[in-house]
């Protein structure tokens, strides 16, 4: 277990680090942000996130599902209709990711030339 304010090493075997590592992925972040506006279908996510392929979307959603951050709801109709939404935990994380995103955008707005650097 790694924790701040202690001299502990960040053990690769730590379950918390494993999860953090899974979240540390660009598609994961973008999907979490996208889902903040509400439940969405596969196609909608695909259309909304530029550059995201079907393969990576499915893979990302499955991972988020396994980690309990996203809920998948299947409506048994034809043609198939599937919706994805954030769980409570997912919303918590997504909120924090959004804060990072906001900080970045504010930061860039303030320094149009470069990144966050002065």
Partner DNA sequence: CTGCATCCGGTTCGATACTG
Partner DNA sequence: CAGTATCGAACCGGATGCAG
Residues that bind DNA (CB under 7 A): 25-27, 41-44, 51-56, 58-59, 61-62, 72, 74, 79-82
Token digits for 26?
Answer: 């660009």
H helix or E strand, kind and range, residue 16: helix 15-23
Pick from 116, 99, 82, 108: nearest CA to 33: 99
Rounded CA gap, 108 and 95, in Å? 20
- 3-class DSSP state of 22: helix
User: Contact residues for its own copies (CB under 8 A)?
Assistant: 1-5, 9-13, 15-17, 19-21, 23-26, 28-30, 33-34, 36-37, 47-51, 66-69, 87, 89, 92-93, 96-101, 103-105, 107-108, 114-118
Residue nearer to DNA on the CB measure, 24 or 104? 24
Nearer to DNA, 43 or 99 (CB): 43
């Amino acid at each position: 277990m790694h924790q701040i304010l202690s001299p502990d090493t960040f053990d690769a075997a730590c379950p918390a680090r494993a999860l953090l590592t899974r979240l540390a992925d660009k598609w994961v972040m973008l999907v979490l942000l996208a889902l903040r506006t509400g439940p969405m279908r596969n196609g909608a996510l695909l259309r909304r996130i530029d550059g995201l392929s079907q393969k990576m979307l499915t893979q990302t959603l499955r991972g988020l599902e396994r980690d309990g951050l996203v809920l998948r709801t299947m409506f048994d109709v034809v043609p198939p209709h599937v919706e994805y939404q954030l769980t409570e935990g997912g919303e918590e994380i997504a909120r924090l990711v959004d804060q990072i995103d906001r900080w970045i955008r504010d930061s860039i707005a303030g320094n149009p030339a470069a990144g966050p650097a002065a």
